[in-house]
């Protein structure tokens, strides 16, 4: 299996692919932590002198042969193997309690699926913070989220999850990084346990399917991922897409579908720590309905 190790700092159609995949191929992406290795000890503080232009490196991009705008790239996350230690840090002006804290770095050990903080043993939940395809227009830095994916910080993007990403440029240009050994929804202080990792994925294509936002499939649910600077806009984006996808397969009218969503779908905040409503990343989950076709066709 090919292992990928080129790092880029934006989702950009001009990024030179580091490898080419065929439909059904598996690849390993070796990822740096979100600090590009600038934080190695507890003396390495993410403060005024930190180089923020070198944050959130993504590994890639991978060119998927045959992927064209209007297709969907299907990414099965086969494994997320994390290093044996990671760093959680506070970040200036990030998170609701920043003005009540100081700049601090904690290096946390990771062993046998567990870490330790404050004298407590805590189970890890390795997940991929940044993953997506290249947008058709302007480049988007890896630290931002959008309808191409990017910094979704969705803790359900983990081993066993299938991700459906809109293809906007030939080859799709898949890249990923910002793995967390553990993170809670919302990521209150702005970091999880930021950690280098090796992610193994399988890529497949669904040709010609209209998809406006990334969709995630777990063993029992579908999730639409959406974002916007403000909560109400993000909620609107995700709700519209889920309603459209549900109506496609059920044949229900818009109001019936809306009511169904209200009683069966859960709105969950993935990333909500940014100040001044810079970006709000959420997911809307809905149970799988075996009576109907899948919300996004399977490859
Ligand atoms: Ca992130
Ligand atoms: Ca992160």
In tens digits, the chain (299 residues) has pLDDT values of 778 889 999 999 999 999 999 999 999 999 999 999 999 999 999 988 899 889 999 999 999 999 999 999 999 999 999 999 999 999 988 899 988 989 999 999 999 999 999 999 999 999 999 999 999 999 999 999 999 999 999 999 999 999 999 999 999 999 999 999 999 999 999 999 999 999 999 999 999 999 999 999 999 999 999 999 999 999 999 999 999 999 999 999 999 999 999 999 999 999 988 765 668 999 999 999 999 999 999 99
Ligand nearest to the CA of residue 274, numbered in listed order:
1
Residues, CB-to-ion distance under 5 Å, ligand 2? 34, 129, 178
Q: How far is the CA of 34 from the centre of ligand 2 (A)?
A: 5
Q: How far is the CA of 246 from the centre of ligand 2 (A)?
A: 32
Q: How far is the CA of 152 from the centre of ligand 1 (A)?
A: 7
- pTM value surpassing 0.85: yes
Q: How far is the CA of 62 from the centre of ligand 2 (A)?
A: 21
Kindly provide the residue ranges of all beta strands, DSSP E only, lying in 65-214, ordered along the sequence. 72-82, 85-89, 105-109, 114-117, 120-123, 127-132, 140-141, 145-146, 149-151, 162-166, 174-180, 197-206
Q: How far is the CA of 289 from the centre of ligand 2 (A)?
A: 33
Q: How far is the CA of 283 from the centre of ligand 1 (A)?
A: 15
Residues, CB-to-ion distance under 5 Å, ligand 1? 129, 151, 153, 178
CA distances from 243 to 72, 98, 197, 284 (A): 19, 37, 36, 11
């Amino acid at each position: 299996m090919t292992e990928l190790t080129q790092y880029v700092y934006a989702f950009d159609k001009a990024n030179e692919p580091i490898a080419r995949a065929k439909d059904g191929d598996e690849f390993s992406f070796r990822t740096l932590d979100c600090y590009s290795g600038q934080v190695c000890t507890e003396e390495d503080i993410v403060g005024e002198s930190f180089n923020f232009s070198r944050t959130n490196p993504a590994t890639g991009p991978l060119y998927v042969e045959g992927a064209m705008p209007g297709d969907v790239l299907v990414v099965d996350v086969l494994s997320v193997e994390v290093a044996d230690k990671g760093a959680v840090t506070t970040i200036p002006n990030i998170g609701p309690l920043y003005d009540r804290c100081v700049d601090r770095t904690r290096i946390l050990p990771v062993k046998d699926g567990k870490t330790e903080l404050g004298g407590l043993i805590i189970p890890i939940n390795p997940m991929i913070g940044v993953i997506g395809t290249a947008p058709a227009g302007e480049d988007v830095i890896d630290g931002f989220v959008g309808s191409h994916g990017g910094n979704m910080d969705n803790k359900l993007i983990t081993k066993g999850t299938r991700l459906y990403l809109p293809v906007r440029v030939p080859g799709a240009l898949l890249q990923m990084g910002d793995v967390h050994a553990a993170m809670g929804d919302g990521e209150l202080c702005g970091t999880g346990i930021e950690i280098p990792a090796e992610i193994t994925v399988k890529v497949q294509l669904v040709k010609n399917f209209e998809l406006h936002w990334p969709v995630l499939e777990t063993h029992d649910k579908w999730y639409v991922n959406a974002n916007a600077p403000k909560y109400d806009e993000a909620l609107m984006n995700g709700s519209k897409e889920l309603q459209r996808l549900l109506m496609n397969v059920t044949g229900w009218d818009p109001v019936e579908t809306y009511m169904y969503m209200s009683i069966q779908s859960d709105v969950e905040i993935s990333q909500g720590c940014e100040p001044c409503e810079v970006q709000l990343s959420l997911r809307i989950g809905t149970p799988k309905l075996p009576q109907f076709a899948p919300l996004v066709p399977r490859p």
